[in-house]
Every structure is written in structure tokens, then in C-alpha cells.
Amino acid sequence: MTTASEPTTAIANPPVEALESNLLPSDVVRISATRSPPQPDRQLTKVAKLIDVSKCIGCKACQSACIEWNDTHPELEANVGLYENPHDLTPEMYTLMRFTEYENPEGDFEWLIRKDGCMHCEDPGCLKACPAPGAIVQYSNGIVDFISENCIGCGYCVTGCPFNVPRIHKTAHVAKKCTLCSDRVAVGQGPACAKACPTQAIVFGTKEEMTAHAEERIADLKSRGYENAGLYDPPGVGGTHVMYVLHHADQPALYAGLPEDPKIAPVVEGWKGPAKTVGLAAIGLAAVGAALHGLFGRANVVEPSDETAAEKLVKSGTSGPGEGA
Amino acid sequence: MKPVYSERRDHIASRQPVTVSRYRGLTRLNHWVTALSLILLALSGLALFHPLLYPLSALFGGGATVRWLHPVIGVVLFFSFLILFLQLWRLNLPRREDRVWLSHLGDVVSNHEERLPELGKYNAGQKLVFWAMAGLIVVLIVTGVMIWEEQLPLWAAQAPSLASIPARRIAVAIHALAAVAMILVFILHVYAAFWTRGTLRAMTRGTVTGGWAWRHHRKWLRELAGRQSRGPAE
């Protein structure tokens, strides 16, 4: 069997013959709760999904494709007068169109639609927070993936993520999120959502190409009056492997609360950095010190004179001097 | 007359040689349930605290078991300690002699007990351990419930701000720090019980020797001696 090539687009149809995976365990560059990161012998090309918000028509084909490919079963919910369906990301819905009604300063109405989901951070907070070895990995092409068989369902990744993306499955007790279709990418295919998108608002390729494509789109948007159009590739998390073209890149929060400057929360960094090391060292030193001193130090021993004094006291039956202090 | 330095049930158990009853069976059982819970919590918690210690999770059957078992034991410890607290808090209230004792910490460590004031049932060190444990357990149960993923639906709707991700980030960090402090206090507690020979039997057999009581808790012994002399008629 030949090995699948690294995908550079989501549009191409798959080859007919069976292919060997190109995304191997040896391509992992970061592993949760593992001290020494692996040293891969090759570097895959960095990939990215680019979501051009200005081209999105809100059809939710991406959601359908995601459900179908990942074989998830999102709950049927009631219509509460919003377009979001389901109402939030869930353990069974890895991507969600979020709809925002925005009245711009000129008084015109804008309907902003953002496809929410895992951003595949270059510096993933979920991975940093995870206590289970091997439950979260990052491949050298940038994809951050949850390995369910190693996941213990503790929810630490939820606190680590700056984008509020991971969800804990209530019955499987594992964390779930968009995989960037790592299983499709492994055999040379682009993500299902990008493949299904009818307007190519979602495109997939190398990060370099996607950044270049975004520049064209931004130039186009600027020529049509969106002077603040720009690319959302937040440096606070080392850049992301899911990027947005926004018409109002100066106000990402307009798009259903997309964070302005996302970064791993300092309290998470502190907890998973100094606190972890210093805490363990303190406990270790205290335990060893106490054990050594307990074994070799001079103990506080009751002397026979103490026993005699106690007997005298009890025999005399009085409480003796010193009482009533 | 209300005892000042002792519990009503503390008494001289035998006169020749002198032994003194310090903890009844129920209190000892209560103590050991709390102790066992604390040890299991420390082991399972440390497994999630540092990758080096993750193998500890194998003691419980793997990380996924630790995930649900740790908080359950936490609830057991909370209630077990609460019952212990209700029995012990009164004699752990600070007294004037505690300050003197603390200012002579050097004499405590170097075994110059004759330079220390006479004490009731607990010295200032024991009291500090008691209140540190009590405070830390409250912190740990509150932050622990906040990060108990499985039980979030129980209360998240009532206190959405506490269930928010920023709040849980702070909770998880505080939980870890408080747990480290708790383990340090625990080590101190165990160490002191070993170092001060004759202490352990208070929590195993329930009694201590008269000499131990005289040496470390003389006011407590005096009160008990005075009480027994007045006889059962009182």
C-alpha cells in the first residue's frame, strides 16, 4: 500500500485505492502530562483551516458533514427563537454556527455568522492542563487531537482552553472536540466541514497557503469598504490552525464573543508550571526530612520521673499547685 | 463544674500504673476513617497533580476511576472530619499559654519541656494542626465541588458565576495549593505523633500513660486527677 500524501485542499476527491496513514504516532510533537516531548524524525507541513466569515451563508452544511463524518448524535433541541442549533457546542456537536445580529455605526444591520469549534492552537491550553499522559497530543502538522482511550474525563482541558471548546461526554466520560478531521487528513483528505461548504467559506490547506489566501480575501474586503478586515490568527496562543477572515478584525468579540487576545490563563500557567514543581518538591522534602529526623533524631521520650510524678498526683487525689490558672 | 482543660469523658483509667483515657472508641474510629480518606485522597490527588506521580492512579484502577473516586472520598472525608471537629473544637480554642508555648518553639524542638508552660489537652502546635486542617478542608471541599465535572449540573444553574470557566480555573489552582498545604500539615501531624513517644496509643488503644500526660499536658492531668478524687457522687 502506498502512503497517503499530505492534503493541500479539501476539494479534491479521494483516490480509489486504499492508502497508508501519513499521520503516525511518531509525528506527535506534544503529549499531555509527559515530561520529555518526543523527537519526531520528520516535520509535516503545517496545515490550517481558514474560515472566511464574509462568505458564510449560515447553511450549516458544515455541521451536518461534521455529524456525519464523526458519527455523532446531537440531541434534538427545541426552537427557542435562535438560529443556533444546537444551542451550544456539545460532546456530540464539535462545530457550531453562531449567529450575531449587529447594527454597525452607520446604522446598518449586519448578520455575523461564525463557525465555532476547536481552534487547534499552536500552544494548546487544553494539552497543558491535561493530567492524563497521552490523552491530548499535537502532531507536527499542528493538529491537536484528543485520544479518548487515554482520557479520564476530568475536565481539566475545559479550564485550560482559552476558547471554551472542549466538552465532557456525560456517558462516555471523555472530552470531545473537533479533531480537524485528523483521520481524514491522515489519508490525504481535507476536513469534512470544508469539503461540504457550498461557498468555500471554509477552505483547507497548508498554513502558508491559507495565510496567503486570507490576504487576497482581506484585500478584496478592504476594496469593498471593510477597512478593518483582517486575519484572526491570535499570537497569544502561538497562532492557530483554524483561522478566520473577519470583516471587523478590530472587534473579534462582535462574532459571538470571539476572544480579543486569547492566551492560556495565567492561573492555569501557574498551576501547571511553578505550583506543580514547587509543590511536589515541598512535599518530597518534608516527607524525607521528617522520615530521616524521625529515624535518626532524638525523640521526645517520657521519663520515669514523669511517671512517678503522675502517680503521686493521682494518689494525692488533689489537683495540686498550678490549678485554676 | 464545667471542665476547662478536658472533655467530660476523659478520665483516669487506672491508678497503678497510671493510665489516662484520652479518646473513646467512637472518636478513634472517626479519626481513622478521616485519616484513611485523607491518605487515599492524597494518593489519588497527587496522581492528577504531577505527571511523575500519575502511576499512583494504578492503585485505584486507572485514571478514569480516580476521576470519579477522588471526589467521592472527598465528601466522605468532609463529613468524617466534620464529626471529629464537633468533638474536638472546644479544647482547641486558643488560650493564653499557647502564646508562651509558641514563643518557646526552640525549647519544644530541643526537648526542654521544663521551660514550657503547663498545658491543657492540646498544645499550640496541635491546635494549629487542627485549625489548619479544618480551614483547608473547607477550602478543598468548596473548590473540589466547583471542579467536580460530573456533578456540575447539580448546582451550576443556581450559581452560574461559580460554575464559569474562569472561576473553575481559579478553583483548580487553589485546590492544588490547598492540597499541598494539607499534605504538609499531615506530614507534620504524623511526624509529631511519632516524635513525641507514647502519643500514638492515644489513637490506637485510646489511653496514654500518666507520665505522658504529666510531661505534655499537665493541666489536663491535674483536672482529671482532681475530678476523680471527688468521687462518683458528684
Does residue A65 sit in the same domain as residue A193? Answer: yes
Give the residue from B126, B103, B130, B129 showing the smallest Cα distance to B116: B103
Domain membership of residue A305 as a residue range: 274-316
Tell me: do B110 and B140 sit in the same domain: no
Are residues A236 and A278 located together in one domain of the fold?
no
Taking the CA of residue B100 and the nearest CA in chain A, the distance in Å comes to: 14
Question: Do B127 and B117 sit in the same domain of this protein?
Answer: no
Strand, helix or coil for residue B84: helix
State whether A304 and B211 contact (CB < 8 Å).
yes
Residues A95 and A165 occupy one common structural domain: yes
Contact B168, B147 (CB under 8 A): yes
- What is the residue range of B222's domain? 1-22+95-121+206-234
Same domain, B36 and B141: yes
B17 lies in the same domain as B116: yes
Asked if the Cβ–Cβ distance from B52 to A152 is below 8 Å, we say no
> Are B213 and A320 in contact (CB < 8 Å)?
no
Asked if the structure places residue A3 within a domain, the reply is no
Q: Select the residue of B149, B187, B221 nearest A310 (Cβ to Cβ).
A: B221
Instruction: Give pLDDT, residue B1.
Output: 66
The answer to whether residues A296 and A164 belong to one domain is: no
Cβ distance of B188 and A283 shorter than 8 Å:
no
Examine the domain organization and report whether A215 and A297 are in the same domain: no
A164/B172 Cβ within 8 A: no
- Residue A181 belongs to some domain of the structure: yes
Query: Among partner residues A267, A287, A304, which is closest to B169 by beta-carbon distance?
Result: A267
For position A191, which CATH number holds?
3.30.70.20
Q: Give the tens place of pLDDT for each residue, B191-201.
A: 999 999 999 99
Query: Is the ipTM beyond the 0.85 threshold?
Result: yes
Answer yes or no: do A101 and A247 share one domain.
yes
Q: Domains in chain A: how many in total?
A: 2
- Mark whether B160 and B68 lie in a shared domain: yes
How many domains is chain B partitioned into structurally? 2
Task: Please tell me whether residues B84 and B104 are part of one structural domain.
Answer: no
Q: Is A168 within 8 Å of B113 when comparing Cβ atoms?
A: no
In this predicted structure, what is the pLDDT of residue A13? 82
B2 lies within 8 A of chain A by CB: no
Residue by residue, pLDDT tens for chain A (325 residues) are 788 888 989 888 877 888 999 999 999 999 999 988 778 899 999 999 999 999 999 999 999 999 999 999 999 899 999 999 999 999 999 999 999 999 999 999 999 999 999 999 999 999 999 999 999 999 999 999 999 999 999 999 999 999 999 999 999 999 999 999 999 999 999 999 999 999 999 999 999 999 999 999 999 999 999 999 999 999 999 999 999 999 999 999 999 999 999 999 999 999 999 999 999 999 999 999 999 988 888 899 999 999 999 999 998 865 444 444 3
Query: Which pairing describes strands A175-176 and B18-21: parallel, antiparallel, or unpaired?
Result: unpaired
Please tell me whether residues B116 and B133 are part of one structural domain. Answer: no
Does A224 map to a domain? Answer: yes
Tell me the nearest-neighbour CA distance from A310 into chain B, angstroms.
Answer: 5
- SS3 category, B88: helix
Query: Do residue A169 and residue A302 come from a single domain?
Result: no
The answer to whether residues A302 and A199 belong to one domain is no
Amino acid B234: pLDDT: 41
Question: Are residues B144 and B109 both part of a single domain?
Answer: no
- Residue A5 in any domain: the answer is no
pTM above 0.80, yes or no: yes
Residues A46, A190, single domain; the answer is yes
Q: Are A213 and A82 in contact (CB under 8 A)?
A: no
Please judge whether B209 and A168 are an interchain contact, meaning their C-beta atoms are less than 8 angstroms apart: no
Chain B residues near residue A308 by CB distance under 8 angstroms = 211
| Number of Cβ atoms within 10 Å of the Cβ of A160 | 26
Q: Where are the beta strands (DSSP E) in chain A?
A: 28-31, 47-52, 96-103, 109-116, 136-139, 144-146, 167-168, 175-176, 202-206, 230-232, 242-246
Residues B131 and B231 in one domain: no
Span B9-19, mean pLDDT? 93
Same domain, B61 and B31: yes
- Interface size A-B, in CB pairs within 8 Å, comes to 182
Selected for mutation to probe chain A from B113, B186, B195 (highest A CB count within 10 Å) is B195
A210 with A49: CB under 8 angstroms?
yes
* pLDDT for A318: 57
